[in-house]
Amino acid sequence: MSNQTSQRKNKAPYIGWLGIGIEFGGVIAIFCYIGYRLDAALKTSPYFLLAGFFLGFIGMLYMVLKQINDDWRK
């Protein structure tokens, strides 16, 4: 095995976790935006925005913990 191939294998898990981190932030941003738009339409200041944040955060936290559990089993 060449040195370059072994270096790629060492970086591969970190690249996957970087993608999960970007996805985590993106999902939270989408849910916050939906909550913001609902607040603007219904004139309910920060309630749907906060609900969107916590819903996105809890959902992505569940997905990350599930991924960690699957990685530990392998």
Mean pLDDT by 10 residues, the chain (74 residues): 55 80 95 97 94 97 91 82
Domain boundaries, the chain: 25-74
Side-chain half-sphere exposure of 36, counting CA atoms within 13 A: 7
The pLDDT, as a whole number, for residue 13 is 73
Q: Which two tokens stand for residue 43?
A: 């004139």
The pLDDT, as a whole number, for residue 5 is 52
In one-letter notation, the amino acid at residue 71 is: D
How far apart (Å, rounded) are the C-alpha atoms in residues 30 and 11? 29
32 contacts 53 by C-beta, under 8 angstroms: yes
Burial class of residue 8 in the structure, from the number of CB atoms within 10 Å of its CB (0-12 exposed, 13-18 middle, 19+ buried): exposed
The pLDDT, as a whole number, for residue 10 is 64
Q: What is the pTM of this model?
A: 0.76
